[in-house]
């Protein structure tokens, strides 16, 4: 046995209002997604910048290890 579906009155004004709301949401979404076209370029620039500054970290670690080994060498040599 089929269940009766509730009847709702839909007016042109309701449809028009919903269409305007959807268009507003579409405009907002388009504005937010407009920045995504520059994302790959910005990511590539960030990767290049990080690669250029990676040597600083390597030198800092090498200096720290050298200093610690030098201190250990001095301590073991004087004892």
pLDDT tens-digit map of 42-51: 888 888 888 8
C-alpha to C-alpha distance for 34 and 28, rounded to whole angstroms: 10
Rounded to 5°, angle at Cα 51 from 45 and 57: 135
Cα 44 to Cα 18, 36, 51, 53, 57: the distances in Å are 41, 14, 11, 14, 20
pLDDT tens-digit map of 60-77: 999 999 999 999 999 998
pTM of the model: 0.40
Structure tokens at 79: 């004892």
């Amino acid at each position: 046995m089929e269940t009766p579906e509730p009847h709702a009155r839909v007016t042109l004004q309701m449809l028009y209002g919903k269409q305007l709301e959807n268009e507003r949401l579409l405009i907002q979404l388009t504005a937010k997604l407009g920045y995504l076209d520059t994302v790959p370029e910005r990511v590539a620039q960030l990767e290049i910048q990080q690669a250029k500054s990676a040597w600083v970290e390597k030198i800092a670690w090498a200096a720290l290890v050298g200093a610690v080994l030098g201190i250990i060498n001095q301590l073991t040599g004087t004892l």
